[in-house]
Amino acid sequence: MRELPTRLPAGRCLREDGRMSQEKKLPSVGFIGLGAMGVPMAKRVAEAGYPLTVLDADAGRTEQVAADISASAATSAAELGKNCQIVVTMLPTSDIVSEVLFGENGLAASLAPGSIVIDMTSGSPNKTQAIASTLARSSIALCDAPVSGGVPRAKTGELAIMLGGDADTIETIRPLVSSMGTSLTVVGGIGSAHAMKALNNLVSAGGFLIGMEALLIGSRFGLSPETMVEVLNASTGMNNSTQKKFKQFVLSRKFDAGFGLDLMVKDLGIALEVASQTDTTTPFSSLCFEIWSAAKKTLGPGQDHTAVARFQELIAGSEVNND
Ligand code: NDP
């Protein structure tokens, strides 16, 4: 276990009689990035009793979320860092994590030596390793802890969490990350969890495309999409998309699973970065990336990742028939 710097928790740290309350035993936590995933995850941390300070790029959202989950609101990363022993980042990309850490009014300059940053963003392993080296010069530890399970499992605190970093740091943060997830897997040194997360999403993205192509072929043959999904889910063709996405977000035409198309394309780009770095020949992964990227370009910004089905319908020249 690492020794955390001594800092008064951001809030609720002293009782009226001036003695430290029970809550003092929990480290003070900062949470940066209050989006689709960040809000339910921060809520779990607050409910576990951690003194919590939150921050988002949108000041109004920061105030609102802080009020909703009984946390303190920060106005900058630097301000947040002054109050916290452990800081979680849940941001779109590693470049944004770097900006939050080392940019103007950045977090790194205000964290005390001995603090820990847990990057739960789905990030790039190379960038994460570079960030860790820079932070280490100020005696700040980094752990990569990306998640899987989407918004529903973020809400229930049942995320799958992959952990990369040194063993002491991971043991120190284990109770905190356990408030957000039920499956914690240590995958290796710093950056390894970000590599693993990108590979997980590569498998998930490939499963979506092939399942959707099967639905398109079957529809044109005259099969019912609902029946096809049921058969796939009872058979060896089952995957996460057949189980949790096709009926819910494609056949329903809702396309609102809560995970952005741009974020999926980013993750596939990271998986291909790792493939290139390891000199691995990956024709299927490259095609998968091309299709998702083309969907992003064709459909435009602000799309949910399940809208890739609409792009597949476009190139097939027909929709999955839901009659
Ligand atoms: P969102 O885009 O919903 O949320 C990101 C949040 O970060 C937004 O509120 C954004 O504010 C905020 N933000 C951006 N820049 C800054 C900044 N400089 N300082 C503070 N806040 C900032 O993304 P998600 O929550 O969906 O995803 C977050 C990460 O988790 C991504 O890496 C994603 O790949 C990963 N992930 C997502 C899953 C999902 O199902 N959604 C599942 C598993 C992993 P603003 O909108 O104002 O820019």
- 3-class SS string, 96-121: HHHHHHHCCCCCCCCCCCCCEEEECC
Q: Quick one: tokens of 285?
A: 């992964």
Q: Give me the phi and psi of 26, to 5 degrees please.
A: -90, 135
Distance from CA of residue 298 to its chain's centroid?
25
Candidate from 32, 37, 255 with most ligand 1 atoms within 8 A of CB, to mutate: 37
Q: Please tell me the predicted confidence (pLDDT) of residue 300.
A: 97
What lies within 8 Å, CB to CB, of 201 at 6+ separation is: 122, 264, 267, 268, 271
Beta strands at 86-89 and 72-73: parallel, antiparallel or unpaired = unpaired
Gyration radius of the chain's alpha carbons? 21
Does the model's pTM come out above 0.85?
yes
Q: Establish whether residue 32 lines the binding site of ligand 1, counting it when its CB lies within 6 angstroms of any ligand atom.
A: yes
Report the amino acid identity of residue 126: N
Distance from CA of residue 173 to its chain's centroid?
17
CA 91 to ligand 1 center in whole angstroms: 4
* Ligand 1, atom 42, residue with closest C-alpha: 150
46-to-54, 130, 143, 292 alpha-carbon distances in Å = 10, 30, 20, 36
Distance from CA of residue 126 to its chain's centroid?
17
* Ligand 1, atom 23, residue with closest C-alpha: 35
What letter does residue 260 receive in the DSSP assignment?
B
> What's the rounded Cα separation, in Å, for the pair 303 and 207?
19
Query: What mean pLDDT do residues 293-300 have?
Result: 98
Query: What mean pLDDT do residues 36-52 have?
Result: 98
CA 145 to ligand 1 center in whole angstroms: 15
Q: Return the H-helix or E-strand segment holding 317.
A: none
CA 39 to ligand 1 center in whole angstroms: 10
Q: Establish whether residue 259 lines the binding site of ligand 1, counting it when its CB lies within 6 angstroms of any ligand atom.
A: yes
Residue 16 pLDDT exceeds 80: no
User: pLDDT per residue over 116-168, tens digit each?
Assistant: 999 999 999 999 999 999 999 999 999 999 999 999 999 999 999 999 999 99
Q: Establish whether residue 319 lines the binding site of ligand 1, counting it when its CB lies within 6 angstroms of any ligand atom.
A: no
Q: What is the mean pLDDT of the chain?
A: 94
Candidate from 144, 259, 268 with most ligand 1 atoms within 8 A of CB, to mutate: 259
